[in-house]
A and B are shown apart, each in its own frame.
Chain A
Amino acid sequence: MRAIIPLLLLPVLSGVSWAASRSEQETHFGIDVARKGLWSEARFRFEKALVLDSQNASALNNLAVALEQQGDFEKAREAYTQALKLKPGDSYIQQNFDLFKEADAKRNRKAKKKT
């Protein structure tokens, strides 16, 4: 019986790694299109990557950037926060989030500057 358990787990584990690998592929493709300025397509790819692997912190970070670029600031903030939860202390994600917050503060300052 003990010998059978790992065999039973094998399809499950291979399914997990397949999803993770597909998620990675989608992330890479998303980066390629983002570099060409196709942010809607990039957003779709990062979202798809997250459907395949919800623990993909890179895809979450990238999705946050795409959302920010598209002006969806509330969702961008959520995505950055979630990405940092998955990868606490990641300097790249933190840097992006800091820059996002800086730009957000500028936006809010402008909105409140009405005299």
Chain B
Amino acid sequence: MPSATGRPRRRPSVAVLALLTTACASFVEVPVETPLNSKIDVSSFRRVLIAGFVTEPGEADVDLSSETARLIQNQLRSATKLQVLEPDRPPLGDALDKIQQSISPAGKYSKAAREEYRLEADKVLQDADYWRKLGEEYQSPLIVTGRLGFEEQNRSGFQSEERVIRDSANRPRLVRGNRYLERKGFALSAEFYFLDGRTGQLLHKEKFTEEVLYGEEQKISPLSSYFELMDRLLPNFLGVISPQKIRGTRVLLR
């Protein structure tokens, strides 16, 4: 565009404009990572033992105890300085097997038998003497154990929805109605116990619950769902024994 003097006016380049904008901007956005302290101090431990978990007795789609033990071991290896002990079999398994044998040698569980199993398993979880002996066997580690549940969820039902339809004169019209939606998924509940292997005493106990639902067209296996839910839950688990970071952005002013 010519200027008032008739000479063509120079346009500032985009780079110059960008530079000017940056230089003149009154603020700068910066990423921040604020520390979040761990809930328990595990600095006095050199080792950690995932002792296994109490689960519902009987057949299951996912071997919760061993899958969870393996996942947590992997996470602890990368997120903490603790030496992660790897027994061939989670030690709690032996104690739970004994309970199962005494309640239902055939492996079939009535409602009452399940309840009895839960009560007996709870006694083991709270038995400081049992955990102290186990701690001695593994050179006084931090012991992680607890109770796990993984259940199918059915949330199918009618849901209100709005649709646009066209009448005979081709005019759009909003119609409200209900539609049956099939939604199934899984819920994972985990109550973790953190125990002192030197004394068998409980240091901390925490419960987490996660749920995921899928539409009727999604065919997701229980194992995939389990991993999806554990992926959500693990940062919270790790937050109990190792410091975490809250990521965000803040504005610095010139």
- Where the two chains meet, the residues of A that have a C-beta atom closer than 8 Å to any C-beta of B are 24, 27-28, 30-31, 34-35, 57-58, 61-62, 65, 68-69, 71, 73, 92-93, 95-96, 99-100, 103, 106-107, 110-111, 113-115
Contacts and interface: CB of A to CB of B under 8 A. Distances in A.
Interface of A is mostly: helix
A58 B253 CA distance: 5
Interface residues of B, number: 22
Nearest to B204: A114
A107 B30 contact: no
A103 B34 contact: yes
Nearest to B28: A31
A57 B251 CA distance: 13
Contacts of B36: 106-107, 110
A114 B39 contact: yes
B51 to A, nearest CB: 19
Contacts of B253: 27, 57-58, 61-62, 92-93
Interface in B179-205: 204-205
B39 A103 contact: no
Given A73-B34, A107-B36, A115-B206, 12 more contacts: A27-B253, A34-B30, A58-B254, A68-B32, A69-B32, A92-B27, A92-B251, A99-B250, A103-B34, A110-B239, A113-B206, A114-B39
